[in-house]
Amino acid sequence: MKGKKEQFSNRFAVIAAMAGSAIGLGNIWRFPYMVGENGGGAFVIVYLICSVFLALPCFFSEAILGRHSGTGIMGIVKSKFPEGKLNFLGVLCILSPVLILSFYSIVGGWSLEYLVKAIAGDFNSMSETESVRVFNDYSSSVWRPILTHFVFLTTTAVVVSLGVKKGIEKFNKIIMPVLFVLMVLIVVFSMSLPGAEAGLSYILKPDFSKIDADVICDALGQSFFSLSLGMGTILVYSTFMKKSESIIGSGVLTVVFDTAFAILAGLAIMPAVFSAGIGPSSGPGLVYETLPYIFSSMGTVSPTVGYLVPLLFFLAVLMAALTSEISMFEVIYEYLRYDRLYSKKKAILTVFLIGFLIGIPCSMSFGVLKGFTLWGLTLFDLADFTTSNFLMFIGSLLFCMIVGWKMKKEEVYMEITNNGEKKFAKLIFKPLYLWIRYVLPFGIIIIFLTNLFV
């Protein structure tokens, strides 16, 4: 039988954990580039509108469902649809954190490798081609990335095994503020580089002519991915939320911190990229090929700066990735522990093994399995693509439909307003409820179909 669940101690712990899950590689290597390519400040405005009207209500639905039911997704599906016909949806929802856990750990391992390189002072003098070669050699080799993947996943498993309060909460409470301070330091440094203005205007200058339907869909997809929606992470973290904590407040603050961090990452990266006279890019290429070269050229200006900046930067990437990975690990762990009633040890070990084993072919798809593609995608890309384009939306749709159609209206009201105590929540309850019930499902279906066919 299930014992009493641990809870986060206070509001700060809730926000640190949720922001920890949300803030990750998506903020560092995807958002800055998307902003720059899609109209700068204008894109940020569209992104915020998408966050407020679609992502945030989905966040609320997930949190309502989690706190109300106190169980993970499979438990909810089983209790709301006892005839068992929809169990496959629960399985799909578990599948996405399994996939992300595995491929995210590969990339987390890369940042560990790069942190070690930075500590060793490897970024002292590297030409652009050398930097590309170093990354290709490392990522395409067999053992080294699997070793870093192993260490990264082991760290995650250790934090989760320490429990909600002593593990997840403590870790996020320390790491998240440090992460923000690190980013601010790098921003200050990056902006002081000669020619940084071009990078600044790339990120900030609004250009509304770039906004079209495609851009809006991109903004929506990014806001869902960045907030870790539809995979049960917010849901599971909400089961640790005290009844006195505000769901609305937590959601709003998580969006604010997540967006603020993404903009900070842009301000840290793009001025340096432009200052070095390189075109902007995104993804692994930006973080592991372009930036190391830029850092190494800083070393010629000041050796201390050339040593410290890459070190701080890869430390930040590693921390951002770890706090996200922990939230995914926790989702699968909770499922095995409380739905399948595994012992703690067995549950931790099983999640670890699943993540580790699926991670191996994902890692190899940068090397020996490069030529092996399904529907034109390598295994790594396939895992990334299916989760961020499909599974995530199926999860979100399921969560908001259950809140809108399966939960009683009073139950939703009690969760949102904390038993009628929160004034602002009471004020917006009615429109929010109608929105979750009637508008949100269509919104999600439209994004889903657009991703599928356009």
Binding site for ligand TRP (CB under 6 A): 21-22, 24-27, 100, 225-226, 228, 231, 233, 324, 327-328
Shortest spacing between CB 21 and ligand TRP, in angstroms = 5
Shortest spacing between CB 207 and ligand TRP, in angstroms = 25
Between 198 and 253, CB nearer to ligand TRP: 253
Shortest spacing between CB 426 and ligand TRP, in angstroms = 30
Please give the Cα distance from 140 to 142 (Å, whole number).
Answer: 6
Between 256 and 308, CB nearer to ligand TRP: 256
Between 118 and 262, CB nearer to ligand TRP: 262
Between 30 and 337, CB nearer to ligand TRP: 30
Shortest spacing between CB 94 and ligand TRP, in angstroms = 12
Shortest spacing between CB 110 and ligand TRP, in angstroms = 14
Please give the Cα distance from 364 to 349 (Å, whole number).
Answer: 23
Shortest spacing between CB 450 and ligand TRP, in angstroms = 19
Shortest spacing between CB 300 and ligand TRP, in angstroms = 33
Shortest spacing between CB 247 and ligand TRP, in angstroms = 19
Between 230 and 299, CB nearer to ligand TRP: 230
DSSP H/E element including 351: helix 344-364
Between 47 and 429, CB nearer to ligand TRP: 47
329, 94 Cβ separation under 8 angstroms: no
DSSP H/E element including 373: strand 373-374
Please give the Cα distance from 201 to 187 (Å, whole number).
Answer: 14
Please give the sequence-ordered ranges of beta strands (E in DSSP) within 259-304, or none if there are none: none
Measured in degrees and rounded to the nearest 5, phi and psi for residue 287 equal -75, -40
Between 75 and 230, CB nearer to ligand TRP: 230
Shortest spacing between CB 90 and ligand TRP, in angstroms = 16
Q: Using H for helix, E for strand and C for coil, what is the string for 171-184? A: HHHHHHHHHHHHHH
Between 98 and 126, CB nearer to ligand TRP: 98
Between 76 and 432, CB nearer to ligand TRP: 76
Shortest spacing between CB 167 and ligand TRP, in angstroms = 16
Q: Using H for helix, E for strand and C for coil, what is the string for the chain? A: CCCCCCCCCCHHHHHHHHHHHHCCHHHHHHHHHHHHHCCCHHHHHHHHHHHHHHHHHHHHHHHHHHHHHCCCHHHHHHHHCCCCCCHHHHHHHHHHHHHHHHHHHHHHHHHHHHHHHHHCCCCCCCCHHHHHHHHHHHHHCCHHHHHHHHHHHHHHHHHHHCCHHHHHHHHHHHHHHHHHHHHHHHHHHHHCCCCHHHHHHHHHCCCHHHCCHHHHHHHHHHHHHHCCCCCCHHHHHHCCCCCCCCHHHHHHHHHHHHHHHHHHHHHHHHHHHHHCCCCCCCHHHHHHHHHHHHHHHHHHHCHHHHHHHHHHHHHHHHHHHHHHHHHHHHHHHHHHHHHCCCCHHHHHHHHHHHHHHHHHHHHHCCCCCCCCEECCEEHHHHHHHHHHHHHHHHHHHHHHHHHHHHCCHHHHHHHHHCCCCCHHHHHHHHHHHHHHHHHHHHHHHHHHHHHHHC
Written as six digits, the tokens of 136 are 């290709």
SS3 228: coil
Between 100 and 264, CB nearer to ligand TRP: 100
Shortest spacing between CB 196 and ligand TRP, in angstroms = 25
Between 26 and 355, CB nearer to ligand TRP: 26
Shortest spacing between CB 192 and ligand TRP, in angstroms = 27
Between 99 and 291, CB nearer to ligand TRP: 99
